[in-house]
Amino acid sequence: MGKDVLPTLLTKIKNSPKVIREILYGMMLHEMHLDLKKEKGHLDNLFMLVVFGDLIGLPLLPPYYSMRLLPHILPSLETWK
């Protein structure tokens, strides 16, 4: 029984910096990270609306600029619609 405890204890000691790092992240940064992801989503939706609003009947930019940006926005265009 004593031999089984030592490897378990060594594993816990080796993983303790990771555990402490994850606890501190959860205490300090997790909520801010979620808020930033939500804000990024809102800004992405606003950008898509301004650039490609003519797809839903709200033209705000001339089509020239929309066509120039189309290759960069194409992957997220289908999910936005």
Does 66 score more than 60 pLDDT?
A: yes
Q: Are 60 and 50 in contact (CB under 8 A)?
A: yes
pLDDT over 90 percentage in the chain: 22
Q: Are 52 and 71 in contact (CB under 8 A)?
A: no
For residue 61, what pLDDT is reported? 64
* For residues 19-27, average pLDDT: 88
When pLDDT is cut at 50, 70 and 90, the band that residue 70 belongs to is confident
What is the DSSP track for 51-79?
HHGGGGT---S-HHHHHHHHHHHHHHHHH
Task: Spell out the domain ranges in the chain.
Answer: 2-80
Rg of the chain, C-alpha, whole Å: 24
For residue 4, what pLDDT is reported? 75
List, for residues 29-47, the tens digit of each pLDDT value. 999 999 999 999 998 888 8
* For residues 7-12, average pLDDT: 76
